[in-house]
Structure 1
Amino acid sequence: MDERVEVIHGDITKVEVDAIVNAANSSLLGGGGVDGAIHRAGGPAILAECIKIREKQGGCPTGEAVITTAGRLPAKYVFHTVGPVWRGGEKDEPRLLANCYRNSLALAVKNAVKTIAFPNISTGVYRFPKELAAEIALKTVAAFLQENQQIKKVYFVCFDGENYELYLRKIDELKARAG
């Protein structure tokens, strides 16, 4: 596992990075979970830019990512990505989740972002199995970082202890496999 990857147990709205990733819904109008927390902490500037994006392109498709200001957050940008709703794994959910990470990282490169923080995308109300989601997230980010040296640090910010322990274990497993 790439040394630029770090797991944190905490609140993504308090992490000081160039960009934080929001697990948004396709409407981009805010919602529950991490999406609601980011909108509340960042203030109305984020929603205002999301509304402009909606007017221009009609929202954000699953697996894609769009950029807005971070408002009052301790970051420059928020990347809004729409994770897949888990429907048993037969609707291309793993590929779509990997695209969330890939497209957010591509936005990071395009916008000269050096540090980025991800939440655990799709594992809340979208019910993506946490273990599978962690594996997809870590493998996708590791593969991207192999190809790109611009990004200096990727944080996985786990709000709950279950995801935090899961990510630490998965990183150890990936290191053991690679080692």
Structure 2
Amino acid sequence: MAAADIRETLLELAVWMGMDRGQVAEFVRQAPPDEARAALKDLLTPLVRDPPERVLQLMDRVLGAELQAMPVTSPRALLPHPDAKAVVWQGDITTLRVDAIVNAANSDMLGCFRRNHPCIDNAIHNRAGPRLRAHLRPLMAAQGHPEPTGSARLTPGFMLPSGHILHTVGPIVQRLIDGCPPEAQARQLAGCYESCLDLAWASGLRSVAFCCISTGVFGYPQEAAAHVALSTVRRWLAVPAHAEAVDYVVFNVFLDRDRDIYRRLLPEYFPEGAGPPPRALCA
């Protein structure tokens, strides 16, 4: 990644935002490349309007250089055997080379506007670049209402190694009944997985990487969410036309606890032979 590209992009963006050119130029001149890159991300994340095309082009150069330099994982090589339809992988979903990764989005569908917020929505928008928000903004304005829970929307991946992004809005769990979310929210979560797979199928996408939708700040218990994810994907792939159209699904996890849950449950839902699925924790 060329430090000059970062400095030029930061200066162009800051001046467009109305900052003092002289002060910004002095900061750009003195700041180490990592500090300048962090400042660039901090300016882009909360933007409520899209930067001009010149800034977008400069960001393409910055992100393109970062993409060339970062390690990328092709999950097909991780499958336990050639006929396997599912695999668990722990790591940064923005480094996966698949046809589509799944973003656990909010209902505004414009990404996270909070600087350094550790949500996957923020991570995906930061890596894909500002063209993603610029692409979504007119679509959501034309729609005229927030994205419904359980639905999915497809966009290009822009500067990600994945070709596309499937954005879905998971349920927000505010109360548990005997340790489980209400049944309506379990159906909504299942709908997220079904909607993403249906849209991938309709769009000719053959590999999909799911994040742990609705866990974390959305409050869905991790193990209960894993049962919903695995059972829904297994049921969807049981349709012969679906199994022929989709090569494999990645269950991407970031936390060690999610890794342990998925590694324990995956063989029960995706055994090499056929068999009834296990009873879900919240059934």
Same fold at TM > 0.5: yes
Match of 2:121 among 17, 35, 49: 35
Matched residue, 2:161: 74
Matched residue, 1:171: 266
Deviations along 1:36-81, whole A, 9 cap, x unmatched? 0000000012111221221121331100001111110011111100
User: What CA RMSD, in Å, does the superposition of the two structures yield over aligned residues?
Assistant: 1.7
Hey, what's the Cα distance between the residues in 1 that align with 2:104 and 2:132? 14
Matched residue, 2:59: none
Deviations along 1:95-115, whole A, 9 cap, x unmatched? 000000000000100110001
Q: Which amino acid letter does the alignment assign opposite residue 121 of structure 1? A: I
Hey, what's the Cα distance between the residues in 2 that align with 1:177 and 1:158? 25
Matched residue, 1:119: 211
Q: SS where residue 88 of structure 2 aligns? A: strand
Matched residue, 1:129: 221
Hey, what's the Cα distance between the residues in 2 that align with 1:127 and 1:160? 15
* Contiguous gaps of at least 5 residues in structure 2: 1-82, 277-283
Q: SS where residue 133 of structure 1 aligns? A: helix
Match of 1:25 among 106, 116, 119: 106
Match of 1:152 among 237, 241, 247: 247
The 10-residue stretch of structure 1 (53-62 or 126-135) with the greater mean CA deviation from structure 2: 53-62
Hey, what's the Cα distance between the residues in 2 that align with 1:49 and 1:95? 29
Percent of pairs with identical residues: 38
Taking structure 1 as reference, are residues 59 and 69 closer, same or farther at Cα in structure 2, changes over 3 Å only? farther
Match of 2:200 among 76, 93, 108: 108
Q: Which amino acid letter does the alignment assign opposite residue 19 of structure 1? A: A
Which one has a larger percent helix, Structure 1 or Structure 2? Answer: 2
Which one has a larger percent strand, Structure 1 or Structure 2? Answer: 1
Hey, what's the Cα distance between the residues in 2 that align with 1:171 and 1:178? 13
**Contact 1:53-1:59 at 8 Å conserved across structures:** no
Aligned residue pairs total: 178
Taking structure 1 as reference, are residues 10 and 100 closer, same or farther at Cα in structure 2, changes over 3 Å only? same
Q: Are 1:141 and 2:222 matched, yes or no?
A: no
Q: Which amino acid letter does the alignment assign opposite residue 205 of structure 2? A: V
| Higher RCO structure (Cα 8 Å, ≥6 apart) | 1
Q: Which amino acid letter does the alignment assign opposite residue 260 of structure 2? A: E
Matched residue, 1:44: 130
User: What TM-score comes out, normalization by structure 2 length?
Assistant: 0.60
1:178 shift after superposition: 2.4
Taking structure 1 as reference, are residues 91 and 55 closer, same or farther at Cα in structure 2, changes over 3 Å only? farther
